[in-house]
A and B are shown apart, each in its own frame.
Chain A
Amino acid sequence: MKERSVTLRINGEIHVFNHVSVRKTLVQLIRDEAGLTGTKEGCGEGDCGTCTVLLNGQPVNSCLVLATEADGKEVLTVEGLSREWDLHPLQQAFVEEGAVQCGFCIPGMLLAAKALLDENPSPTEAEIRAAIAGNLCRCTGYVRIVQAIKSAAVSLSSPPLTAATGKGPGI
């Protein structure tokens, strides 16, 4: 089986992976090689969005990206949203609004929401729903997830009150 070397900047840190099979997907590399299991794999077919990460700032289903395709690029996973104990305003809002139930879709949902707010800091409800339409959730009915994204949009567009609600690294 063919193998290559892959270099990624994941959550701001350089990772070098040697002997990466050309068949390996980005989600497999992130989970199995980098050990960042916050990114989930729900279907492996690009249907559910649980493996959403930001690749050079754009949301992708990391199960549909080959690891070698990502060589030289920047990846943001859920682990990179917060720094130590400081949650990203989206994470904070998901906790406070009760947007989390089983939690399996949440990492992908957070990154889809971040991609939206990076592009469009004050989205309408319809724009929020469209932006997360590729991220399935079976628990919440999306009610509080939509509320949380709205609330995070507000706190991101106003200056932080405390360090605990400070902005994440946002590479």
Chain B
Amino acid sequence: MEALVGKPVTRVDALEKVSGAAVFGPDVKLVGMLYGKALRSPHAHARIVSINLDAVRKLPGVRAVVTGADMPGVLGGEAVKDMPFLAQGKVRYMGEPVAAVAAEDEATALKAIELIEVVYDELPVAADALAALEKGAPLIHEGLENYARISVIKPVPKSNVITVNEYSKGDVEQGFQESDEVFEDEFRSQTVHHAPLEPHSAVAQVDVSGRIVVWGPNDSPHRLRKDLADALHMRLDRVRVVSTYVGGGFGGKGGLKAEPIAVALALKANHRPVKVVFTREEVFQATLVRHAAVVRIKTGVKRDGTLMAREVKIVWDTGAYAEKGPTVCSQATAAAAGPYRVPHVHLIGQCVYTNKAVAGAYRGYGTPQLAWAYESQMDIIAKKLGIDPLDLRLRNILREGDVNPVGHPVHSVGVEDCLKQVAQAIGWQERQHHPRVTEKGRHVGFGIACGTKNTKTPSGSEAALYLCQDGSLTIVTASVEVGQGVRTILAQIACGVLGLPMENVSFSQPDTDSTPFDASTTSSRTTFHMGNAVKFAAEDLKKQLAQLAASLFGCDVNQVVVDGGKAWLSEQPERSLTYPELLQKQYGAGASMMGRGFYYPKSEQGKAFHESPSLFWMYAAHAVQVEVDPKTGRVEVTRLAAAADTGRAINPVNCLQQIEGGAVHAIGTTLMEELIVDKQGRMVNPNFHDYRIPTAMDAPEILASLVEAPHREGPFGAKGMAEIVTTSVFPAIGNAIEDAVGVRIRDLPIRSDKVWRALRESKEK
């Protein structure tokens, strides 16, 4: 029954993608389609004094013009409803859409937005989170406590703090007193962009009844439908969302991005569809970024290395609108102490508005910024105590049944094996014998780190399977193929249960009209949640087939076996009927059979929303070898070993693809990438030549491996893993640099000039 599970089946989406046939967001083309463009704010914080639309309305080819004034009371946002579709009254970041135009062609739309005259009255800017926390800082959202919001969000009135989240276990003060050594450090990380190769886009159309349809590369059609319906005060069924293939997401293709502009224009376009495709500059400035974070971490340890107490205080720079910032804060802060046994814990996260690009979900959902802190500090502790960094980690590492830092017993914990595997792969024990200086005079260092991440809990997924009369199968789900290989995984599960070959399967397009509810294709939740739903749906089909066979055989259903595409009486395996034969015998004129599966994790009473403990935890470890040029400070990662706990790998190649890609993505974050914002809040490098992501020349040798610590509730023991694949890369590199040249870098990215300066300062001492 599980023949396909665990096999490196070739990805089912690959053929469409190598032939150029796969349809992504910018490929959508409808009859009568108009092209929309937004006029964006040149200021990070300003009051809008006036908008003059006289000239733009006279331009031939312009069909719709819209500003925030046309949409009073329309505010979007999954956690906090604070974001207008187009600025209302004031702008809060550079690049915020102020007005938009739909025209017969793109060139006319571009010309049109230049004809819009906006008069601004500039306001003081809060360009980073610490400045935004200061007394007298400009208030970015006056009356933030009045915004509609989900229950876990706790705004602080008359401040820029949209929420504060706190977790405690034991008594940290007592823990510090009982410690032999107490370490206090601060680590910072920068603003980075997902930088998917596909730009954000949306096509929207409003039909004659006022129903809205949106097509685009959105990772979560049901969530987008709710975001749009809530903001526009419409019923859910009055909005339809269809998701295309997503050309890279990493968290950045959910929620309201190009969609609100396309919808705002479509509402005024006389039922014609409106297409909006962002330029690369717009993608950088006005979609989503990863939170810059300031992490203060205080840890008490016994002389033998036993962790006693850990206090972590985090300031999350969430940008101009809440988006998923508050849920990043609540969820990631809970993971701030790392995958360790710590008896006394206090974690507190503050989510702070600034006049910058909106921050939200980004592969790892805040946990990479935290691992950067706790895993860098683990090496500081190891060095001071004279313990090997790997041994210090293994002494404190979480194992099956332990209680984690937020007080929950943990199950399916593969982090110890992850650490051991990467240590083995990189040659951790033998590193002392490795030459420490190369022929070119570069210094060699080794670093190791691990990390953990939770998943949003609880959340639901529903799947339908249509077994056609010829025995072929259509998998009907709203899970979006964002590049993670979800179609392949779900097909392996369905075919595994039903005993059908993979060739017999087709997939629905995610569409809120036809594919059942799914919370989101995020949080590494799909293999677990939708995997379970598909498994239940396949089991439901098998049950119906067994009943059909029993009625045809004239026997009890318990005497029927269904497997491998056939049903038979258990005593007479030679008298079997295939699925098509069963359907044909009963429904000769044609029929299909539908299997249904719904998964929603059991939640504690009264905790049916975000307060619940994580359904599962992800774990990974990384070990790297670096070379540092002491003359220039340049760092090169020459080898990287990575291991992630998959629970059970439904498709090992898919998992390895995540690990490899995540490793290189994270090398970019660690050494190369930073969205730079000046004191006026202006982003200075919103393009790929000034914001450099790794090329094939920057990728090292990658030694990837899997760990399987099966989860009792996951499909075949599987759990999610795609977000944990970057988390411990950052500190592993930082630790390796310290090992190579003896300097500790505490703020990302680790650019050459920072290493060079630190080396010079260390020599001066």
Footprint of B on A, CB under 8 Å?
A: 1, 21, 23, 31, 36-45, 47-48, 50, 77-79, 81-82, 87, 91, 94-96, 98, 100-107, 110, 128-130, 132-146
Is B696 close to A, CB under 8 A? Answer: yes
- Closest 9 interchain pairs by CB? A38-B20, A102-B483, A104-B247, A103-B17, A141-B664, A47-B688, A78-B20, A101-B483, A43-B280
Interface string of B684-696 (1 = CB under 8 A from A): 0001110001111
Alpha-carbon separation in the docked complex, A154 to B694 (Å): 27
Instruction: Beyond A138-B195, A141-B702, list 17 extra A-B contacts (CB 8 Å).
Output: A37-B23, A40-B24, A43-B687, A45-B688, A87-B19, A91-B19, A95-B10, A95-B14, A95-B15, A101-B485, A102-B247, A129-B699, A130-B696, A136-B695, A139-B657, A140-B664, A142-B699
Looking at the assembled complex, report how far the CB atom of A43 sits from the nearest CB atom of chain B, in whole angstroms. Answer: 4
Contact pick for A142, options B10, B250, B687, B696, CB 8 Å = B696
Contacts of B483 in A (CB 8 A): 101-103, 139
Number of A-B contacts (CB under 8 A): 171
Looking at the assembled complex, report how far the CB atom of B502 sits from the nearest CB atom of chain A, in whole angstroms. Answer: 14
- Which residue of chain B has its CB nearest to the CB of A23? B107
By the criterion CB–CB under 8 Å, are B660 and A140 in contact?
A: yes
Alpha-carbon separation in the docked complex, A82 to B198 (Å): 23
Assess A104 versus B20: contact at CB under 8 Å? Given A95-B10, A136-B688, A141-B661: no
- Which residue of chain B has its CB nearest to the CB of A91? B18
Looking at the assembled complex, report how far the CB atom of B58 sits from the nearest CB atom of chain A, in whole angstroms. Answer: 18
Looking at the assembled complex, report how far the CB atom of B2 sits from the nearest CB atom of chain A, in whole angstroms. Answer: 22
- Which residue of chain B has its CB nearest to the CB of A46? B689
Contact pick for A79, options B20, B27, B482, CB 8 Å = B20
Looking at the assembled complex, report how far the CB atom of A42 sits from the nearest CB atom of chain B, in whole angstroms. Answer: 5
Is B26 close to A, CB under 8 A? Answer: yes
> Which applies to chain B's interface (DSSP): helix, strand, loop or mixed?
loop
Is B343 close to A, CB under 8 A? Answer: no
By the criterion CB–CB under 8 Å, are B248 and A132 in contact?
A: no
Alpha-carbon separation in the docked complex, A77 to B687 (Å): 25
Assess A136 versus B197: contact at CB under 8 Å? Given A102-B245, A102-B247: yes
Contacts of A129 in B (CB 8 A): 696-697, 699
- Which residue of chain B has its CB nearest to the CB of A126? B697
Contacts of B26 in A (CB 8 A): 37, 40-41
By the criterion CB–CB under 8 Å, are B20 and A100 in contact?
A: no
Contacts of B247 in A (CB 8 A): 40, 102-104
Assess A42 versus B199: contact at CB under 8 Å? Given A37-B20, A96-B10: yes
Assess A43 versus B245: contact at CB under 8 Å? Given A91-B19, A98-B11, A102-B482: no
- Which residue of chain A has its CB nearest to the CB of B196? A138
By the criterion CB–CB under 8 Å, are A82 and B19 in contact?
A: yes
A and B contact pairs by CB, cutoff 8 A, 30 listed = A36-B20, A42-B197, A44-B280, A47-B687, A79-B19, A79-B20, A87-B19, A95-B10, A95-B14, A98-B654, A100-B14, A102-B246, A103-B16, A103-B247, A104-B24, A104-B198, A106-B18, A110-B18, A129-B699, A136-B197, A138-B196, A138-B665, A138-B693, A140-B657, A141-B702, A142-B695, A143-B661, A143-B699, A144-B657, A144-B660
Assess A107 versus B20: contact at CB under 8 Å? Given A41-B26, A94-B14, A100-B11: yes
Contacts of A141 in B (CB 8 A): 660-665, 694, 699, 702
By the criterion CB–CB under 8 Å, are B661 and A95 in contact?
A: no
Assess A132 versus B687: contact at CB under 8 Å? Given A102-B245, A104-B248: no
Looking at the assembled complex, report how far the CB atom of B9 sits from the nearest CB atom of chain A, in whole angstroms. Answer: 10
